[in-house]
Structure 1
Amino acid sequence: MQVEAVVFDIGNVLVGWQPEAFYDSVIGVDRRKRLFAEVDLAEMNKAVDAGASLRTSVYACADRHPDWAKEIRLWHDRWIEMLFPRIEGSVALLRALRRAGVPVFALTNFGRDTFELARGPLEFLNEFDREYVSGRLGLMKPDPRIYAAVEADCGITPGALLFADDSAKNVAAAAERGWQVHHFETWEGWAKRLVAAGLLGKAEAGI
């Protein structure tokens, strides 16, 4: 089936999501490993992606773990520094698709306030035709309901959506709904998939 819209995940597809690397650079590898072992920061962040306030979630977690309070608060105070590096090849593909007249959507597990915070330094977040953000929807990948919400909103047949995500679980969930999918590993691999789908020429895709 001909692709009618391309759907991008954001973290580790368009920009890196590197909290471990950030903490390594600030408190050192050994202390970071201890922090991540003693405090479930991933679960804290899931609450943010599900719609909770970043500051409220982080500072409440810090209050529950006073021995690590200063380090935990960095998750709020310097959150933007965990988003790196930009994956410029993927950003170029997003823009090439738009120039070719292909609608481009975002489908991302991202907080309401963090998505708005990221818009400034990551200007490409303002370039999607439609945005599906978990923190706004109250649904997170790989819950099938978030894919259903995309389908209902955009009105495109599932088989005409092409979705790229770095998470195998998220890709599998989309495939279960009949979406065309790509498990993202490198921007070059994603470029080849877009060329194979007839959406971009090789020169447009940068390969």
Structure 2
Amino acid sequence: MGIEAVVFDIGNVLIAWQPERFYDRVIGAKRRKDMFAEIDLHGMNDEIDRGGDFHAVIAETAAAHPRWRDEVMMWHDRWIDLASPKIDRSVRLLRALRRNGVPVFSLTNFGIGTFEIARREYPFLEEFDESFVSARLGEIKPDPVIYQILEERSGLSGAQLLFTDDRPDNIAAAAARGWQVHRFERPSGWAAALVTAGLLTEEEAE
């Protein structure tokens, strides 16, 4: 059974998502390490990705840690600086697949508010045939249910789907359902995988 659709993660595949790098630049590496050791900021973000209110979740975390209040609120007030820049070659690969008539979906852990910010900043996020966003669905990767939702809505089985994600746990969950998978590390590797799958030529994948 051949590949019928390609599924993209967004963070660190199409858009860089490196909060530590942002804070290193803004407050310095040592203070950032201290803050991240004291506060589970990625856990806070997971709550948003599960559907928690973008502002309320961050404001509550900031209030609980007054020593870091201003820094925590940067996660809200300067969110787009955490989620940048776009990964240009990955965007080109998305568009090359579309030109070849290959259906493309996004499967992403994203909050409702943050996804709206990202859509305004990165118009290519509107180019998917369908976006499967965790906060909208009430399910989050790597929970198997979110993969099942995509299968049911697309009408495709695992073997018909080629999925890329930067996180090993998300890749493992997809592989367990029979999806074809590629662990994203850099755009060149993803381009080679799409060529090997017969979805793009080497020229189209540049």
Question: TM-score, structure 1 length as denominator?
Answer: 0.98
The unaligned stretches of length 5 or more in structure 1 are none
Distance (whole Å) between structure 2 residues aligned to residue 148 and residue 190 of structure 1: 24
Q: Does 1:181 align with 2:189?
A: no
1:143-154 alignment, distance < 5 Å: 143-154=143-154
Q: Does 1:32 align with 2:22?
A: no
CA-to-aligned-CA distance 1:59-79 (integer Å, 9 cap, x gap): 000111111111111110001
Count, aligned residues: 206
- What is the percent sequence identity of the aligned residues? 57
- 1:93 maps to what in 2? 93
Letter paired with 2:27:
I
Distance (whole Å) between structure 1 residues aligned to residue 157 and residue 30 of structure 2: 49
1:50-199 alignment, distance < 5 Å: 50-199=50-199
CA drift at 1:18: 1.1
Distance (whole Å) between structure 2 residues aligned to residue 157 and residue 19 of structure 1: 35
SS at match of 1:203: coil
The unaligned stretches of length 5 or more in structure 2 are none
CA-to-aligned-CA distance 1:85-134 (integer Å, 9 cap, x gap): 21111000000000000000000011111001111111111110010000
Please list every run of at least 4 consecutive aligned residues from structure 1 whose deviation after the TM superposition is greater than 4 angstroms: none
- 1:17 maps to what in 2? 17
Distance (whole Å) between structure 1 residues aligned to residue 140 and residue 62 of structure 2: 24
CA drift at 1:204: 0.4
CA drift at 1:32: 0.8
Letter paired with 1:159:
A
Distance (whole Å) between structure 1 residues aligned to residue 53 and residue 112 of structure 2: 8
Letter paired with 1:8:
F
SS at match of 1:3: coil
Distance (whole Å) between structure 1 residues aligned to residue 189 and residue 24 of structure 2: 29
Question: TM-score, structure 2 length as denominator?
Answer: 0.98
Letter paired with 1:190:
W
Letter paired with 1:106:
S
